């Protein structure tokens, strides 16, 4: 029954998508207004029904579905059984489809009253993407296959026919244990997917604009909301993914330049560039070619990421199991890239902007530099991730490309970006007067350098940390300075208090100031990374029960060992009490799994504190003693705070309603 429901939902969604394509293409070429809202609704209803069927199956332990039989166990605790819907391959595509349907519905709502060829074209393109994903689910990645031959706790053979004779196992293996020990499993994938899928909207508008030969900022304007939403969720998803890795995996790291992590960073970098560059086109009708290239690349990179995780071509922590979906995704990727760029080249004349940048010393100029830096950054990550594959394919030689390579390039690029982040917002549009820029940046520069010096004499002399503090202070100072300057002007012009002026200013140009909030978030991330990566302390000690060790201002006492027996392994951990001076803080219980006397995966314990975390890991256990490793991550909390702040800025930029903003803008005159 559920299989039928789910399959029916998918069929409905596919039908909706197909109708969107059919009618959308027709409507984009004529003056008639087609009913595109109907198909969009159908797509949404279909995918909701499908996901609903899957969730019901999971929550009621219905093992007749092969997906449930292979990935779920009745003992899986509550939020994780819901999350099992996207824990494995077919389910993750189901989530993708659902998110796509929601975005499509949102886009269809904005389908204009009057003949709206651009909108129709965009809906047709999104429908095309939908056809691919729902088609995938009805062919090679079917989440609703029914189990027709069961083994003890999984399904051996399944059938796509919903009414096949069911032979369901009594129990399933449950999700991978690594995916069960943190709530983030339920949250991180949906956030990421919203980010990935959301980029399909500006992509669709871009293709529509190219196909219909409609240059100009219209397509940007209409897709702006989706772009920002996607970017914000992508930011959140990546940061929370890092947080999850940090809390759960025993290496205390939040980023490993793992190929799949890179696959999420690349679209983020390009989407960030696109977000910024779009502003230029909307304001000054420049950088149009850049914008097309950036949005096509961003969407393509999300497909590339989806491909890399599921195709078995790259070895990664994130890999799903290999299946026939690999070739399908690759084919789709090729279609998207080749089709888009070919279309782009045929419209090359149109795309070449009519406006030229007059001077690099201008807001547009800084955005251009921003584009360049972010694109090179994305390019570096791309070649680092794919070069081993390419080299091996052509020569058979195997090389490794990991953290040292990426850090070598990413760190300087990041600092350059921070620098531009400081200068950009204070640089006026059009050929700017260097004097104004100088006036706005001289004090922040002095402040930044001073802060750097203070850090050098009080905290550390490590160059990266000082650079982060210097640039971070500079950026923050520049933002605050601009705020003060402009509120000051308002105060005198409109004769209002500081608070009133600030409110007015911020609401009046909400996207700009929300963006500055995001920049502050980035500053926090930079400082958090710099401190935790360079100033962390590490110690490894062998301790017997009752022994204490002094580390980073903490007194850590090994109270006692504990042990949990499982059929195939023993979990052994150490109970530690952590004090600061005389004050008791908490108990930590790092543990590790032992198979015989061989150590397997260890689960660390983390003490989160505002000034930095304390990390405890079990390295080895003896009959009398335990070998424990302790690490500190100073100011790592800033990373998570910064990430959330950056995303919040994104949401804030579209949260302020149009009416309020217009009102604010009315009062905003002669602001540079």
Partner 1 sequence: MSGRWLRWAGLGIALGTVVLAVVLASRFGGDPALVDSPLIGQPAPAFDLTTLDGGDEVALEDLRGDIVVINFFASWCLQCRAEHADLVASSDAFGEDDVTFVQIGYQESPSESLRYLEQAGTSQWTKYLADPGSRTAIAYGVFGIPETFFIDPDGVVVGKIIGESDAFTLGATIDAIKRGERPGQAVTGDTQQAPDR
Partner 2 sequence: MSERTRNLLSITAIVLLTVILVVVVASSPTEADRVEHLGTQIKCPVCQGESIANSPAPMARDMMALVSERVAEGASDTEIIDELLSAYSGAVLLDPPASGATLVLWVAPLVALATGASIIVWWRRHPGSDASPEAEPQSRSRSRTLVGGLVLAGAFAVVVIVAGFFLQDREGPAAGVANLEGQDLSEVSNETLEAVVAANLDDPQISGMRLALAERYYEIGDYSSAFPHYLAVAEAAGASNPEVVTALVRLGWMAWDGNGEVETAIGLFDQALIIDSDSTTAMFLKGQVLWCGAGERNAAADLFSDVLADPELSEDSKALVGSSFEAVTRGEPCA
Q: Distance (Å, rounded) from C-alpha 303 to C-alpha 99? A: 15
28 lines the binding site for partner 1 (CB under 8 A): no
The nearest distance, CB 106 to partner 1, in angstroms, is 30
Compute the distance between CA of residue 400 and CA of residue 407 in angstroms, rounded to an integer. Answer: 14
List the one residue from 114, 321, 397, 565 that touches partner 2 (CB under 8 A): 397
Q: How far is the CB of 386 from partner 1 (least distance, A)?
A: 7
**Cα 668–669–672 angle (5° rounding)?**
100
Buried b (16+ CB within 10 A) or exposed e, 217-246: bebbebbbbbbbbbbbbbbbbbbbbbbbbb
**What element of type H or E holds 647?**
helix 636-655
3-class DSSP assignment, residue 111 = coil
Q: Exactly one of 29, 109, 213, 662 binds partner 2 (CB under 8 A); which one?
A: 213
Judged by CB under 8 A, does residue 499 bind partner 2? no
DSSP 88: S
- Joined tokens for residue 170: 């009594």
Q: Between 359 and 492, name the residue whose CB sits nearer to partner 2.
A: 359
Residues 587-616, interacting with partner 1 (CB under 8 A): 593-601
Binding range to partner 2, per CB under 8 A, among 94-102, 237-245, 373-381, 547-555: 373-381
CB of 404 to partner 2, least distance (A): 4
Instruction: Please give the Cα distance from 53 to 56 (Å, whole number).
Output: 5
Taking the C-alpha atoms of residue 120 and residue 103, their distance in angstroms, rounded to an integer, is 15
Among 109, 221, 442, 493, binds partner 2 (CB under 8 A): 442
Which span sits near partner 1 by CB under 8 A: 153-161, 349-357, 402-410, 424-432?
349-357
Q: How far is the CB of 514 from partner 1 (least distance, A)?
A: 32
Q: Does 321 bind partner 1 (CB under 8 A)?
A: no
The set of residues, in sequence order, having a beta carbon less than 8 Å from that of 78 and lying 6+ positions away, is: none
Q: Give whichever of 54 and 278 is closer to partner 2, judged by the CB atom.
A: 278
At 389, list the tokens.
């594959």
- Residues of this chain, 388-407, that bind partner 1 according to CB under 8 A: 389-390, 392-394, 396, 398
Under the binding rule (CB under 8 A), the answer on residue 661 touching partner 1 is no
Q: Are 448 and 471 in contact (CB under 8 A)?
A: yes
Rounded to the nearest 10 degrees, the angle between the axes of helix 117-138 and helix 37-59 is 30
Size of the site for partner 2 (CB under 8 A): 72
**In this chain, which of 77, 78, 321, 396 binds partner 2, going by CB under 8 A?**
396
Is residue 343 a contact residue for partner 2 (CB under 8 A)?
no
Separation of alpha carbons 304 and 259, rounded Å: 11
Query: Rounded distance, CA 260 to CA 502, Å?
Result: 42
Using the contact rule CB under 8 A, the part of the chain among 77-85, 154-162, 378-386, 565-573 near partner 2 is: 378-386
CB of 258 to partner 2, least distance (A): 5
Residue among 11, 361, 372, 552 that touches partner 2 (CB under 8 A): 372
Q: Does 247 bind partner 2 (CB under 8 A)?
A: no
Least distance to partner 2, CB of residue 300, Å: 16
**Of all residues in the chain, what percent are helix, strand and coil, respectively (each to 5)?**
65, 10, 25
60 vs 354 by CB, closer to partner 2: 354
CA–CA dist 342, 389 (Å, integer): 26
Binding residue for partner 1, selected from 79, 327, 463, 553, defined by CB under 8 A: 327
Residues that bind partner 1 (CB under 8 A): 289, 293, 307, 311-315, 326-327, 330, 333-334, 337-338, 341-342, 344-346, 348-352, 386, 389-390, 392-394, 396, 398, 569, 593-601
């Amino acid at each position: 029954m559920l299989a039928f429901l789910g399959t029916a939902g998918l069929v409905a969604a596919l039908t909706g998508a197909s109708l969107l394509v059919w009618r959308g293409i027709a409507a984009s070429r004529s003056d008639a207004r087609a009913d595109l809202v109907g198909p969009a609704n159908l797509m949404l209803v279909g995918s909701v029904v499908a996901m609903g069927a899957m969730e019901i199956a999971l929550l009621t332990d219905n093992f007749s579905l092969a997906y449930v039989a292979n990935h779920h166990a009745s003992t899986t605790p509550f939020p994780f059984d819901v999350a099992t819907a996207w824990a494995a391959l077919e389910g993750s595509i189901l989530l993708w489809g659902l998110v796509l349907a929601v975005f499509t519905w949102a886009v269809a709502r904005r389908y204009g009253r009057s003949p709206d060829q651009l909108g129709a074209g965009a809906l047709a393109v999104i429908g095309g993407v939908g056809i691919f994903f729902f088609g995938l689910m009805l062919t090679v990645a079917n989440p609703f296959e029914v189990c027709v031959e069961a083994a003890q706790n999984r399904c051996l053979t399944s059938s796509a026919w919903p009414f096949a004779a069911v032979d369901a196992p009594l129990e399933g293996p449950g999700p991978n244990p690594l995916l069960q020990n943190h709530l983030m499993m339920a949250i991180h994938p949906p956030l990421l997917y919203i980010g990935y899928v959301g980029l399909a909207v500006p992509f669709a508008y871009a293709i529509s604009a190219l196909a219909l030969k409609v240059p100009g900022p219209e397509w940007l304007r209409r897709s702006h909301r989706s772009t920002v939403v996607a970017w914000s969720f992508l930011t959140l998803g990546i940061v929370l993914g890092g947080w999850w890795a940090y809390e759960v995996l025993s290496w205390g790291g939040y980023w490993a330049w793992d190929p799949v992590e890179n696959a999420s960073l690349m679209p983020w970098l390009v989407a960030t560039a696109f977000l910024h560059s779009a502003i230029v086109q909307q304001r000054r009708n420049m950088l149009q070619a850049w914008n097309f290239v950036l949005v096509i690349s961003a969407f393509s990179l999300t497909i590339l990421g989806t491909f890399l995780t599921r195709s078995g071509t790259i070895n990664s922590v994130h890999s799903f199991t290999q299946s026939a979906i690999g070739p399908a995704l690759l084919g789709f990727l090729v279609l998207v890239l080749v089709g888009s760029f070919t279309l782009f080249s045929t419209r090359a004349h149109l795309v070449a902007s009519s406006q030229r940048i007059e001077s690099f010393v201008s807001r547009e100029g800084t955005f251009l530099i921003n584009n360049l830096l972010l694109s090179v950054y994305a390019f570096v990550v791309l070649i680092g991730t794919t070069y081993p594959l390419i080299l091996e394919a052509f020569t058979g030689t195997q090389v490794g490309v990991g953290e040292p390579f990426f850090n070598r390039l990413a760190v300087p690029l990041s600092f350059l970006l921070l620098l531009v982040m400081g200068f950009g917002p204070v640089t006026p549009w059009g050929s700017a007067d260097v004097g104004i820029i100088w006036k706005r940046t001289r004090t922040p520069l002095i402040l930044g350098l001073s802060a750097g010096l203070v850090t050098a004499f009080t905290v550390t002399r490590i160059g990266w940390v000082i650079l982060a503090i210097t640039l971070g202070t500079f950026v923050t100072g520049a933002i605050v300075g601009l705020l003060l300057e402009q509120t000051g002007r308002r105060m005198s012009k409109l004769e209002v208090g500081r608070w009133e002026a600030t409110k007015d200013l911020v609401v009046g140009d909400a996207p700009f100031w929300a963006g500055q909030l995001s920049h502050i978030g980035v500053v926090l991330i930079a400082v958090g990374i710099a401190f935790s990566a360079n100033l962390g302390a590490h110690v490894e000690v062998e301790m017997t029960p009752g022994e204490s060790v002094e580390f980073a201002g903490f007194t850590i006492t090994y109270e006692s060992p504990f042990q949990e027996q499982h059929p195939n392994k023993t979990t052994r951990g150490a109970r530690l009490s952590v004090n600061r001076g005389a004050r008791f803080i908490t108990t930590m219980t790092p543990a590790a799994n032992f198979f015989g006397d061989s150590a397997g995966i260890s689960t660390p314990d983390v003490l989160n504190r505002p000034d930095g975390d304390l990390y405890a890991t079990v390295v080895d256990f003896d009959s009398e003693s335990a070998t424990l490793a302790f690490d500190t991550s100073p100011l790592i909390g800033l990373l998570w705070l910064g990430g959330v702040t950056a995303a919040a800025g994104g949401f804030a930029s579209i949260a302020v309603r149009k009416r309020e903003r217009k009102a604010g803008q009315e009062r905003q005159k002669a602001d540079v």
